[in-house]
Amino acid sequence: MRSPWARVIPSLLVGVVLLADNAEAQSWRTVTKTRQASGEERLDVHVEYGAGRFQVRPGEPGSLYRMELTYDEEEFEPLASFDGFSLELGVDGHSGSINLGKGENRSRMDLWLSTAVPMDLSLEFGAVAADLDLGGIPLTSLSMKTGASETTLVISEPNREMMRSAELEVGAAAFTIRQLGNLNAERLRIEAAVGDVSLDFTGQWVRGAEVDVELGLGALELIFPRSLGVRIIRDTFLTSMDADGFTRNGDEYLSENWDDAEVRVTVDVEAAFGTIDVGWVR
């Protein structure tokens, strides 16, 4: 296992917001950008956002996307680029740093994505409060990278597409996923440096999955439905684990229903300097 500090220390520097020494006037602007679907069969979607509030939701029928931005036009400009196959959304900065002055940070991005066009979705954001609901958006793959963020990701409805993989990299953050079973991912990898991570495995499971979790420093919560067969493989250092309802064999833990469950999930956990708590829901 890699040294936990190899993940912890660099991530403490991610998403730092540089404050100006002197207060400067800010020029706030709100814009809306939209595009209707026109027969696209699939999309590569990349979304990048630096700091503020960030929200993603399923869009209206017939809409490819809708984006509403509130931003400081002295520092940023909207980004909306589409070539028929690839879609890039977010903001471009005029300088290499984010200068919020001494005023209120009102930056906000609200995004609605198509529920009709299958997409490979990539999300990158920094010092944000992120509220993401990807339920009903047909995802074939998912990539997410965050900085010092507080992120809640919900999959409120089952994904109609069979997802190849989901890769989630979390910096110094609080990170929560709800209804993971609806993601329909064959493989899921979550890497978190510092913070609290909560993974809720409820939802509609139609097939098994392999889940890899790497946690540098913090607390990991795993919540499983009683119907799901679960195997946890633990590779930890100075990390306690509370796992009621499992039979232990060395570093492997099997749920009591493992042999009889219709759907089984294996969770491979690497962690250092923290705690792992396991809970069950009906």
- Is residue 129 within 8 Å of 107, Cβ to Cβ? no
Report pLDDT digits (tens) over 29-39.
999 999 999 99
- Is residue 201 within 8 Å of 236, Cβ to Cβ? no
Report pLDDT digits (tens) over 46-95.
999 988 999 999 999 899 999 999 999 888 899 999 999 999 999 987 54
Q: Given the structure tokens 């060395």, which residue do they identify? A: 250
In this prediction, residues 239-258 reach a mean pLDDT of 89
- Is residue 95 included in any domain, yes or no? no
Q: What is the pLDDT of residue 5?
A: 46
Residue 124 has pLDDT above 50, yes or no: yes
Residue 20: DSSP 8-state: P
How does strand 108-113 pair with strand 63-72? antiparallel
Which H/E stretch holds residue 6? Answer: helix 5-11
Chain mean pLDDT for the chain = 87
Q: What is the pLDDT of residue 2?
A: 52
- Is residue 112 included in any domain, yes or no? yes
- Is residue 268 included in any domain, yes or no? yes
- Is residue 98 included in any domain, yes or no? no
Residue 109's CATH number: 2.160.20
More confident residue, 223 or 235: 223
- Is residue 261 within 8 Å of 227, Cβ to Cβ? yes
pTM of the complete model? 0.85
For the chain, what is the domain count?
1
Q: What is the pLDDT of residue 146?
A: 92
CA–CA gap between residue 152 and residue 97 (Å, rounded): 26
In this prediction, residues 237-266 reach a mean pLDDT of 90
- Is residue 10 included in any domain, yes or no? no
CA–CA gap between residue 46 and residue 226 (Å, rounded): 36
Q: What is the pLDDT of residue 269?
A: 94
More confident residue, 8 or 219: 219
Q: Which residues contact 220 (CB under 8 A, 6 or more apart)?
A: 196, 197, 198, 199, 213, 269, 271, 274, 275, 276, 277
- Is residue 2 included in any domain, yes or no? no
Q: What is the pLDDT of residue 148?
A: 83
Report pLDDT digits (tens) over 137-190.
999 999 999 988 899 999 999 999 999 899 999 988 799 999 999 999 999 999
Residue 3 has pLDDT above 70, yes or no: no
- Tell me the C-alpha to C-alpha distance, in Å, between residue 26 and each of 52, 74, 154, 171: 15, 7, 33, 29
- Which residues sit opposite 168 in a β-bridge? 144, 190
- Tell me the C-alpha to C-alpha distance, in Å, between residue 183 and each of 155, 178, 204: 6, 10, 8
- Please give the distance of CA 196 from its chain centroid, rounded to a whole number: 13
Residue 104 has pLDDT above 90, yes or no: no
- Which residues sit opposite 241 in a β-bridge? 276
- Is residue 90 included in any domain, yes or no? no
- Is residue 80 included in any domain, yes or no? no
CA–CA gap between residue 170 and residue 203 (Å, rounded): 23
More confident residue, 73 or 26: 73
Q: Residue 269 is encoded by which pair of tokens?
A: 């956990």
Q: What is the pLDDT of residue 173?
A: 78
CA–CA gap between residue 179 and residue 167 (Å, rounded): 16
Q: Given the structure tokens 């074939």, which residue do they identify? A: 140
**Structural domain for 163, as ranges:** 45-67+105-281
